[in-house]
Amino acid sequence: MKLLVGLGNPGPKYAGNRHNIGFMAVDEIVRRHGFSPWRKRFQGETAEATLSGEKVLALKPMTFMNESGRSVGEAMRFFNIDPADVIVLYDELDLEPAKVRVKLGGGAAGHNGIRSIIAHAGPHFQRVRLGIGHPGDKALVYPHVLSDFAKAEKAWLEPLIDAVAEHIPLMIQGEDGSFQNKVHLALNPPPEKPARKAEN
């Protein structure tokens, strides 16, 4: 079984925040792949489906970002899920907007949701880092992540969420590199080659 976690803060006040891109991505995955309706458990909301022949539990912790690990740890213990079978989608300041990077393990890099999950589950889980860009000044980080995406940002945000949702079965299959490449190509399609002229 795979545990697919989106990070964010609960409630309508935070729904459009940059910090909630993990929630947005998991919502679209659940919608697109015909998961069961959301239900409340493990201090969060869960939905289930089978993707690529693997049972998948989607989880949105409702604990607020800084305590996300409590919810994730509870779900892991209940289903006896190995950390390597946990995939966490979240906002990454150190990546340019619309960039996606996948990695296994590592530190929290200042992300409180990831720090909390490490505290409850150890560091050896899969991370899908969704770039939101850095405001350029450390003092502006909190207002940046806790404010809504600007209208202009929807031009890259929606295609990013769509591409992540479409190709997430590759992550479930353990094909991390293919997932990353497919998302990149969806957002940066190669230029079309000019048609060759027919020879006389």
The set of residues, in sequence order, having a beta carbon less than 8 Å from that of 64 and lying 6+ positions away, is: 9, 10
Active-site residue flag, 19: yes
Measured CA to CA, the distance from residue 106 to residue 67 in angstroms comes to: 19
> Residue 40 corresponds to which tokens in the numbers above?
């409340």
Backbone angles phi and psi of 60, in degrees to 5 = -115, 105
Q: Which of 19, 33, 144, 167 is catalytic?
A: 19
Question: If phi over 0 gives left and psi between -120 and 50 gives alpha, with beta otherwise, what is residue 138?
Answer: alpha
Active site residues: 19
